[in-house]
Amino acid sequence: MAARLIPRLGSLVDRVLGRQAEASAPAPRRSNPDAVVDCAVYVNGRRETGRPHYADAYARSRRGRNAFVWLGLHDPGAAVMAAVGRTFGLDELVVEQALADGHRPTVQRHDGVTLLVLRTASYVEHAELTATSEVIDTGDVMVFLGDRFVITVRHGASGALTPVRHDIESRPAVLAEGPWAVAYAVAARMVDLYLEVAAHLEKDLERVEESVFAPDRGADIQHIYQLKREVVEFKRAVLPLQEPVRALVADRAGEPPPGLRRWFLDVESRLSRAVERVAAYDELLNSVLQSRLAQLAVDQNNDMRKIAAWAAIAATQTAVAGVYGMNFTHMPELTWRYGYAGALLLMATAAVVLHRLFRRSGWL
């Protein structure tokens, strides 16, 4: 009996010790999905060390005072966005919106979460403007603002937010205002990009304008149309942002902290400059396009005049040859010894006279 009990007791002890070892072992560390660009917890405007999983970071931010988590996502998939939505309590409609790009700039509020949508823009370097040149690359950024979190979802290659994070982390006094400080930093970065793109775009417009009014008129109208399309796309990114920014400044949506009001006023002021530039560029392109169309009409008219002049000269030769080629019986010139030479001389004289007349009138 004792021989049978000893192995059973040993097995029972091993199981108990194994369970205790499993209980005392640390839980495996969770890693963020690939769509997560960065995740950090900020306390009193300063970043805590490490890059925790967004669920752990949100739990830490809710336990501390003056703390929030900033989660940055780039082109997240449906599974990742659904998990993020469950963790932060986002509305299903908002989660679906975050999966698509091409949204119009707006500010909305859903169950205590404010959604700020901005369009990104970047200038695409090109050696020369062609009929298919990409001048401006656009995308969008969606900023979800809650009590203890801010989530930025970026679509497209342009508008990277890593410089925004580095810049705002160097300003802890502003970052201490909470998640809305991140919204201000993102909006300020987008407006700065608009002004940079506008500066590059101005140079393209100057080159197109010079080519249109150059003596040789080498500008292709397809190039102007392509630049016009790019400016219209840029205009769609910049102009609709005015109303959301005004709403934030007027405290009609999102309720940003009073300490950030003057910073949003600065964003509104710089956005107004960008809007004015884009509107001016659009009008200038319309004027350049109309000028080029007028030039083409004048060139076509000149070509038609030249064609008509040469047709008149050729018609004279045809008329003379037709008359003397009828071979009627009673034509005195048919028996004239110098009739052939006279007919050629008549045609040549008529051609020279008509050519000089047309040259004098500007048709040739």
Q: What pLDDT digit, counting tens, does each position of 66-95 carry?
A: 899 999 999 999 999 999 999 999 988 888
* Domain spanning 298-361: CATH 1.10.357: no
Give the pLDDT of residue 46. Answer: 93
SS3 133: coil
Closest CA relative to residue 178, chosen from 254, 82, 120, 110 = 254
- The average pLDDT across 341-360 equals 85
Least confident of 34-48, 74-88, 254-268, 321-335: 321-335
Q: Which of 77-86, 295-304, 350-359 is predicted most confidently?
A: 77-86
Mean pLDDT of 54-70: 91
- Beta pairing partners, 113: 110
State the number of CA atoms in the 13 A half-sphere of 321 facing the CB.
9
Q: 42: which strand partners?
A: 47, 68
What pLDDT is attached to residue 173?
Answer: 92
Q: Could you read off the pLDDT of 3-41 as tens digits, one per residue?
A: 454 445 445 444 544 444 333 434 445 667 778 999 999
State residue 300's pLDDT score.
Answer: 80
Asked if domains 36-297 and 298-361 share a fold, the reply is no
Q: What is the pLDDT of residue 214?
A: 74
Q: What is the pLDDT of residues 167-195, one digit of tens each?
A: 999 999 999 999 999 999 999 999 999 99
Structural domain spans, the chain = 36-297, 298-361
* 36-297 CATH, one of 3.30.460.20, 3.90.1150.10, 3.40.50.1460, 3.40.50.150: 3.30.460.20
The Cα–Cα gap between 172 and 340 comes to 102
Q: What CA–CA distance (Å, rounded) separates 39 from 162?
A: 11
Instruction: Determine contact, residues 238/138, Cβ cutoff 8 Å.
Output: no
| Mean pLDDT computed over 256-262 | 86
Query: Minimum mean pLDDT among 188-197, 235-244, 253-262, 308-317: which range?
Result: 253-262
Tokens encoding 58: 């949100």
Q: Across-strand partners of 120? A: 139
* Distance, CA of 194 to CA of 275 (rounded, Å): 9
pLDDT at 217 over 80: no
CA distance 138 to 155: 9
φ, ψ dihedrals at 355, nearest 5°:
-60, -40
In contact, 105 and 240? CB cutoff 8 Å: yes
Residues of the chain above pLDDT 70, percent: 87
Q: What is the DSSP letter of 170?
A: T
The tokens describing 18, both together, are 């194994």
The stretch 268-284 carries a mean pLDDT of 92
- For residue 175, give the 3-state DSSP assignment: helix
Looking at residue 234, its amino acid is: F
Q: How far is 205 from 226, CA to CA, in rounded Å?
A: 12
- The pTM of this model reads 0.75
Helix-helix angle 54-63:78-88, to 10 degrees? 10
Phi, psi of 121 (to 5 degrees): -155, 140
Q: How long, in residues, is the chain?
A: 364
